[in-house]
Amino acid sequence: MDFETYDAFSAGVEPGGLRNKSEIKLLICFLLESLDKPLTKEQVFEIMLNNGLANYFDVSEALGELVESGKIRETVFEENEVLRIAEEVIGATKILESDIPKSVREKALHAAVVLQTKARRERENKIEVETLDNGYHVTFTISDKKDVLMRLTVYVADYSQVETVKRGFLDDPVGLYSGIITALTA
């Protein structure tokens, strides 16, 4: 792999981001190897683009080449098409990961963990929005495997508030639940 030349686009890439296709491929493999759960293609794009780590076209090309070469395989996990690193690549990724700046690896890994946590929270917690004549009712439901632990409905005046309270709930549903239980039992 040639890590010395810049052969990737720089549009949308923040200072310190990757401008070498080999580095982009390596970062993708590093992410897939480092996480407990696989990523979807969409999640890889979101991690790389939203954090200014690489350009869209280079990520797309890198993913295509990794899949075509068999270094990454597309499989199904929890009803989603995901990417998994091939067994024969695992050791090489560990050896080469230091060729990518530690700050980039940490930023990408943190973004991936945040993204996977958000996706898990969205799967595990239900949010329903009911349109009213003068606003909205937003109902949050926290469940374990078989029981509803809490169902909370709040009124909000406009759709921007709907998005704000949904985001706030998904940021920390356990904290909301714990806060309500504490308030009710204190």
pLDDT (0 to 100) of residue 11: 64
Backbone angles phi, psi at 36, to 5 degrees: -70, -35
**70 Rama class: left (phi>0) / alpha (psi -120 to 50) / beta:** left
Residue by residue, pLDDT tens for the chain (186 residues) are 544 555 555 666 676 778 788 899 999 999 999 998 999 999 999 999 998 999 899 999 999 999 999 999 999 988 889 999 998 888 777 777 778 888 899 999 999 999 998 888 888 889 999 999 999 999 999 988 788 899 999 999 999 999 999 999 988 898 999 999 999 998
pLDDT (0 to 100) of residue 143: 85
**12 Rama class: left (phi>0) / alpha (psi -120 to 50) / beta:** left
> Per the structure block, which two tokens stand in for 49?
């683009």
Task: Report yes or no: 47 and 116 within 8 Å, Cβ to Cβ.
Answer: no
Q: Taking the CA atoms of the chain, what radius of gyration do you get in angstroms? A: 20
Q: For strands 148-156 and 125-132, give the pairing.
A: unpaired
**CA-based nearest residue to 60, from 28, 99, 101, 103:** 28
pLDDT (0 to 100) of residue 12: 65
* Alpha helices, H only, the chain: 21-34, 41-50, 56-69, 87-96, 102-124, 159-171, 173-185
137 has which bridge partners?
Answer: 130, 155
> Per the structure block, which two tokens stand in for 119?
């996706």
136 has which bridge partners?
Answer: 131, 156
Helix, strand, or coil (residue 6): coil
State in Å, rounded, how far the first CA of the chain is from the last one.
61
pTM above 0.85, yes or no: no
